[in-house]
Chains A and B, each alone.
Chain A
Amino acid sequence: MGFDWAFFFERIVNPGTPYIHALGRTVSMAILAMLLGLLIGLVVGFGRLSRYGLVRSACGFYVWLIRGIPVLVLLVMLFSGMAAAGLFRFTDFEFAGIKLTASFQAAVIGLAIHEGAYMAEIVRNGIQAVARGQIEAARSLGMSPWLVTWRIVIPQATRVVVPPFGNDFNHMLKTTSLASVIGVPEIFQLTEAMSATTFKTFELLSVVALNYLVLTAIWNTVQGVIETRLRAHEIDRPVRSWWQSFVVYMTPGMTSVERRA
C-alpha cells in the first residue's frame, strides 16, 4: 500500500475542529501541569533547604517517592485507582465557561505532582548555585532575609533554573500523550481513535509526531529568548527588552545561550 502522502498532507493542512481542540488540550495540559509543578517545585525545593529538619525530610521524601513512580502509573492511580478504592473521584466542572473534564483534571494534577518532584531538584540546585559571597554582601548592606531572597537569590537562581526548566517543559509537552490512557482526548488519543477507523495508522502517527515536533520547536525559541534576556549581563550588546532579546537570539552568532563565559 505504501505511505499515503495525499492523506498525510491533507491531515496537516486541514486537521479539523476536533483535532484543533485536542491540540488545545495538549498544550493547556502541559502549561497548567508545568505551572502547578513549578509551584510544587518552589515549595519543595526551598523546603529541602529549610532550617527545620522535619521540613527537609518531608520534602526529601516527596522527591524520593514521586521520582520512583512512573508517570503512567501515577496517572492511572489518581484517576482510576483512587476512585476504585472509594478514596477520591474526579468530577467534571465548569470554570469560567470552560468545561474541565474529570480526566483532564486528573491528568493535570498527576503530571504536576510528577513534575514538582523534578522541579524541586532544579530549584534547589538554582538556589545553591547563587554565590555565598553575594548573599553575605547583601546582608552586610542591611538587607533583610526576605529582601536577600527576593532581590538577590531568586533573580540569579532563575538564570540557572531556566535551561533545565525548559528541558522539562519540552519533556512535558510530549508526556501529555500519556493522558490518553485515562481518556483525555488530546492529540495522541484522537490519532489512535482515527487510525482505528481509517487504518492509515502510520500516516496519522507521522502527523502527530510532527505536531509534537512543532510544539517543542516553538518552545525552543521561547526558551532561547528568555535565556538571552536573563543573560543580559553576559552579552556584549545591551538587552533591555523582550524584543531586543528576540532579535539578539535570532541573530546568528549573537546569542550567548550556547556561548558561556
Chain B
Amino acid sequence: MSTENHQPLVRAIDVRKRFGDAEVLCGVNLEVHRGEVLCIIGPSGSGKSTFLRCINQLEVYQAGKIFVNGELIGYKEAGGRLLPISNRQVVLQRRRIGMVFQQFNLFWHMTVRENIIEAPIRVLGQSQAQANENAMRLLERVGLSAKAEAYPMKLSGGQQQRAAIARALAMNPELMLFDEPTSALDPETTGEVLSVISELASTGMTMMIVTHEMGFARQVADRVVLMEDGQIRHEAPPDQFFSDQAPVRLKAFLSTIH
C-alpha cells in the first residue's frame, strides 16, 4: 500500500511512564519515518533508554500511544479503553523490532553462530541450513566470519557488539533500536562498531540510536533529538542541531559533553 509508506514507521503520542513516584517519560511525542536514522541524545536519566525499551516492550508505558507500522504497541483498544495485550501478542510485536544493548547481552552458552541462528530457527521456523547461511552472510557483513565458532567470552567488547548487531539483523527487522551501543566500549573498539552501524544506516534501515557519540550522531543521523526530563526538547537535522544557531539549552548540554 502506497499510503503506508508515507505514514511514519514509529509514531509516539504523549507517551508517559513512571517508576513509582518518579515520572521518567512525561509525554514523549515523536515520529520516525521509514529509512530514517534518528539519534537520541540527552543527559543520563532523561528517559532515552526507557523510551527505546517501551517501543519493544521491555518496559510498559502507562499512558499515551506508540504505533509501529500503524500497529498500537502493548495495548488494544476495546470500548474506548486501552487494555494490555496478551503475552503472545507482545511476543509477536517484538519480532520485527531489533534491539542492540549497551552490554551486548550475547548468550554465553552459545557460539557466535549459535547466537545468531537461535531466534530465526526457534521463532521464525527457518531451517538450520537457511539460518546458518544467513548467519554467515551477516557475520561477513560485520567482519566476524572468523569468529563464527567462538564463544562470546573469547571476544573483545567490539566483536561482541558486532555479533549482537548481526543477531538482531538475523530476524530481518523493520526497525532497529540501539541503546547506547558503544558506551561499554573503549575508544579503539568504538570505531569498529560505529562503522558497522553507519554501513547499516546506508542500506536504508530505519534506526533509532541512543548515543553519547556526538561526532557519530552528526555523521550518521538524518535527524537528532535532545531528550531531557522525560521530554523531547529539541529536534533538528544534524547540521542545524549542532550549529551555532542551536538553542541555548542545547548548547549548554552539548558543552557538558565535550
Residues of A bordering B, CB below 8 Å = 131, 133-134, 136-145, 147, 151-152, 155-156, 159, 232-234, 238, 261
Contacts and interface: CB of A to CB of B under 8 A. Distances in A.
B106 interface: yes
Contacts of A141: 94-95, 98, 118-119, 123, 167-168, 171
A144 B151 contact: no
24 contacts: A131-B105, A133-B105, A134-B106, A136-B105, A137-B167, A140-B58, A140-B98, A140-B99, A141-B94, A141-B95, A142-B119, A143-B118, A143-B119, A143-B123, A144-B87, A144-B123, A152-B107, A156-B108, A156-B109, A159-B109, A232-B151, A233-B109, A233-B154, A234-B151
Given A155-B109, A234-B153, A136 B58 contact: yes
A133 B94 contact: no
B95 A142 contact: yes
A156 to B, nearest CB: 5
B98 A133 contact: no
B151 A142 contact: no
Given A140-B99, A232-B151, A134 B94 contact: no
B133 to A, nearest CB: 19
Interface string B79-109: 0000000011001101101110101111111
B102 to A, nearest CB: 9
State the majority secondary structure of interface residues on A.
helix
B142 interface: no
B258 interface: no
Contacts of B101: 133, 136-137
Contacts of B159: none
A138 to B, nearest CB: 7
A143 B97 CA distance: 12
Contacts, number: 81
Contacts of A142: 91-92, 94-95, 119, 123, 171
A155 B114 CA distance: 14
Interface string B156-182: 000000001001100100000000000
Band of interface residues on B: 20 to 34
Interface of B: 56, 58, 87-88, 91-92, 94-95, 97-99, 101, 103-109, 111, 118-119, 122-123, 149, 151-154, 164, 167-168, 171
Nearest to A150: B122
Given A144-B88, A233-B152, A151 B108 contact: no
9 residue pairs, one from A and one from B, having the closest CB atoms: A233-B151, A142-B95, A137-B105, A141-B119, A133-B105, A140-B99, A142-B94, A142-B123, A155-B109
B118 A137 contact: no
Contacts of A234: 151, 153
A143 B164 contact: no
A103 B164 CA distance: 56
Contacts of A131: 105, 108
Nearest to B58: A136
Contact of A151 (B111, B122, B153): B122
Given A140-B98, A143-B91, A233-B109, A133 B103 contact: yes
A6 to B, nearest CB: 54
Given A143-B119, A151-B122, 5 more contacts: A131-B105, A131-B108, A139-B94, A141-B123, A143-B123
Nearest to B111: A233
